[in-house]
Amino acid sequence: MTTTSTSTPTVLSTIAATRELVRAARAEGRRVALVPTMGALHEGHLALVARGRELADLVVVSIFVNPLQFGPNEDFERYPRTLDADLAALAGRADAVFAPSVAEMYPAGASQTTVHAGAVGERYEGAARPGHFDGMLTVVSKLFNIVQPDVALFGQKDAQQAFLVKQMVADLNLPLAIEAVPIVREADGLALSSRNRYLSQGERVLALTLSAALGDAEEESVRGVPAARAAGLARFDQQPDVRLDYLVIVDPATFLPLEDDATGDGLMLVAARVGATRLIDNAPIHF
């Protein structure tokens, strides 16, 4: 696991060329890591790529804004597409970028066969964005089949996504390992997200409510689950310009809400709207 790219990654737009690149690498006994992204890369993505580099010899980053995981009133059209900047950011970090067109991924216009995320996929983000996780898992399983990586890296920032991908891999016996990489934050606590670029200066300040709520809850965790939840909610009560969607403390092993008298590991999830931008964040919390 010593190969280090020093130049711009090879850009592949077809499934056939990607398969060929991976086949050649495997023939040389190289391990393959996949970092699935929708582009608009930031330091959080680069942390996934760096972890992929530690775990494998060939690091493939996919960049594809997947229409299947956006609802009709969501930001598919305006989602940032910054391929040139993404390639520059990946220079010296990734070996190859798979950046297919929508027609390459969905030649029939959509996918007749889809992956269903199950009951947990209908909670939290899934309740706010019906069909989102089915679309996400469908494209992720296509990417796994195209690249056939030994390991795939996902950001812990999308904690429910990482949970559901791991569940799919276990349920369908997919032959790869999944690793969730810790959230990367700005110095003031804001979790990095491609959607942060939608925020005005004022909205960016308001967006700190999410990480502050997580911090407040953590401070109250010695008093138990209801006190921690109440502390997190209080932050949003003080900031009516931030519209809370959900705040929940789940069991990280099941993603079901923690009982009020629970002890042990929890994970607090929060989603809120700041202006037109929907943001999510999460943090572990121990009781």
136 binds ligand PAF (CB under 6 A): yes
Establish if 59 lies at the interface with ligand PAF (CB under 6 A). Answer: no
Contact present, 97 and 90 (Cβ < 8 Å) = yes
- Closest to ligand PAF by CB, 158 vs 220, is 158
Q: Is 139 in the site for ligand PAF (CB under 6 A)?
A: yes
Question: Using the rule CB under 6 A, is 99 a contact of ligand PAF?
Answer: no
Find out whether 248 is annotated in a ligand binding site: no
| Shortest Å, Cβ 69 to ligand PAF | 6
Q: Is 192 in the site for ligand PAF (CB under 6 A)?
A: no
One of 56, 60, 140, 268 touching ligand PAF (CB under 6 A): 140
User: Is 167 near ligand PAF (CB under 6 A)?
Assistant: no
Q: Give Cα 44 distance to the centre of its chain.
A: 10
Does 37 bind ligand PAF (CB under 6 A)? Our answer is yes
Burial of 232: CB neighbours in 10 Å, binned 0-12, 13-18, 19+: buried
> Distance (Å, rounded) from C-alpha 207 to C-alpha 275?
10
Scanning 91-200, the segments in alpha helix (DSSP H) are 102-105, 125-128, 132-147, 159-171
Pick the stretch among 30-38, 100-108, 169-177, 240-248 that binds ligand PAF (CB under 6 A).
Answer: 30-38
Closest CB 226 distance from ligand PAF, rounded Å: 32
Q: Is 35 helix (H, G, I), strand (E, B) or coil?
A: strand
Residue 116 falls in the annotated catalytic set: no
- Nearest approach in angstroms of CB 229 to ligand PAF is 26
Residue (38 or 267) nearer to ligand PAF, CB: 38
- Tokens coding 253: 């092993």
- In terms of CB distance, is 58 or 136 closer to ligand PAF? 136
Is position 69 annotated in a ligand binding site? yes
**Quick check: 206 and 274 in contact, CB under 8 A?**
yes
Q: Judged by CB, which is closer to ligand PAF: 45, or 235?
A: 45
- What are the start-end ranges of the H helices in the chain? 15-27, 43-55, 83-90, 102-105, 125-128, 132-147, 159-171, 201-219, 225-237
266 contacts ligand PAF (rule: CB under 6 A): no
Angstrom distance (rounded) from CA 105 to CA 113: 13
Of the residues 52, 61, 66, 121, which one makes contact with ligand PAF according to CB under 6 A: 66
Is 167 labelled a binding residue?
Answer: no
221 labelled ligand-binding: no
| 158 is an interface residue for ligand PAF by CB under 6 A | yes
Q: Residue 272 pairs with which residues in a beta bridge?
A: 244, 279
Torsion of CA 143, 114, 40, 129, to 10 degrees: -150
Question: Cβ(192)–Cβ(43) under 8 Å?
Answer: yes
232 is in an annotated binding site: no
Query: Which amino acids are annotated as binding site for beta-alanine, given as ranges?
Result: 69
Q: Give me the residues that bind ligand PAF (CB under 6 A), please.
A: 36-38, 66, 69, 136, 139-140, 158, 161
Q: Which residues are annotated as catalytic?
A: 45
